[in-house]
Homo-oligomer: A and B are copies of this chain.
């Protein structure tokens, strides 16, 4: 039963040594806000770094004291979840350039004592990762078991593998790209223009208590449209009106989708710094792992194994961009798994499709066990039952496979609907004549990946799960696995 990491709090590490940035500029000191969940093992080999997206923060899981809303990736981080805090030591840190505790444009410039504002140096995804590397070393970790993230978090994960090939064993990159496209830059630029043309922006030197809220609100509204799919918006809002029966022929808020955007824009201005929005979107624009226009060349030094996940309805980071990553990795002989998850949510699916993500990530981290996904309470039949009994149980329970048990409860065979048909066709009268005695089974403690592979090899769609005494304790079916993972390539 997956649970919560409970109450957590953000910690801070400050590094006085100057950090040389990709631009050549130098930043010092560098403070990094971070949270950790679970325990670092003695070998320091079970650390997983989780990286946040554009407007995220270090609070990935659990609850801050007195709050009811959990961290942004609570659906996959916690005991029994994909990033299983019973096994792993999960770390999440706020990016530099951000406004959630790590050094950014709203931080005090030590040279002046006033906020950096636009004197803050432009940072890149590589710089964010370089700063994270300091934190990881500070925590005593030489090599991460995995780095994972969606959207900009996925870029950081890819960047880790390229920048520190010896320091990361597995990479999980979700709904992301290896190089920002013209369309992505275009949306970022419109957001920045909204902020910088707001008179309240004042060249970046706005007082902390009167930021350019209108500009930031607009930028967030644009962003939100790109995070949702057309289909999700149709489903969620359609043409529904907000608190009214009929259209009012005016410019007040009338459609639910307008109300939603206003709300998203308004709440965002209360939690995000406009200058940070400029710096982080610029880092996105600059992101390009290609070398001489070749992504394959860009990935030539990586050593990690990869899980790349795209979302069918994501039009901001469409699946073809994940496929470009996969192809570039494959060209280098890198171990890479790819899955396009089926979701109507659009880009935001990386925050919402917990079922599919938990399965894919757990399987990739190789700790998802048959016992975690098996169906229990599947019907069985005793050896001496009639064929009619077997048929009736199948129909009543809508199953195709019926494990056959001996009197003392251990598995002796399996009978399928196809066997029933055979009995009818050939006039067989007893279960004994039609059931298969050589049954392929699964163990509750083996990995799902292993069981799935066995099913595929033998062309079997379900396996009885048996304990050490060959008692049937459940059933694992390819249908159940498929439902969890969607259509995977």
Contacts and interface: CB of A to CB of B under 8 A. Distances in A.
B180 A193 contact: no
Tell me what chain A mostly uses at the interface: helix, strand, loop, or mixed.
Answer: helix
B251 A192 contact: yes
A472 to B, nearest CB: 47
A434 interface: no
Nearest to A194: B218
Nearest to A23: B249
A64 interface: no
Give the interface residue-count category, chain A. 35 or more
Contacts of A196: 251
A22, A189, A265 — which one has the most chain B CB atoms within 10 A of its CB? Answer: A189
A186 interface: yes
A286 B190 contact: no
Given A186-B257, A257-B186, A233 B197 contact: no
B234 A221 contact: no
Contact of A261 (B186, B214, B262): B186
Interface string A247-265: 1011100111110011001
Contact of A190 (B249, B255, B261, B278): B261
A182, A190, A192, A265 — which one has the most chain B CB atoms within 10 A of its CB? Answer: A182
Interface in A175-220: 179-183, 185-187, 189-190, 192-194, 196-199, 214, 217-218
A291 to B, nearest CB: 13
A285 B136 CA distance: 51
A190 B230 contact: no
Chain copies in the assembled complex: 2
Contact of A197 (B214, B230, B236): B214
A392 interface: no
10 contacts: A182-B233, A182-B255, A183-B230, A185-B257, A190-B222, A193-B218, A222-B222, A239-B288, A247-B286, A251-B278
Chain A to chain B: the 7 pairs with minimum beta-carbon distance, closest first: A23-B249, A182-B233, A122-B249, A182-B237, A197-B214, A182-B257, A183-B230
Interface of A: 22-23, 25, 118, 121-122, 124, 179-183, 185-187, 189-190, 192-194, 196-199, 214, 217-218, 221-222, 225, 228, 230, 233-234, 236-239, 247, 249-251, 254-258, 261-262, 265, 278, 282, 285-286, 288, 315, 318
Given A121-B249, A189-B257, A197-B218, 14 more contacts: A118-B251, A122-B249, A122-B251, A179-B239, A182-B236, A185-B255, A186-B225, A186-B233, A189-B255, A189-B258, A189-B261, A190-B221, A190-B222, A199-B199
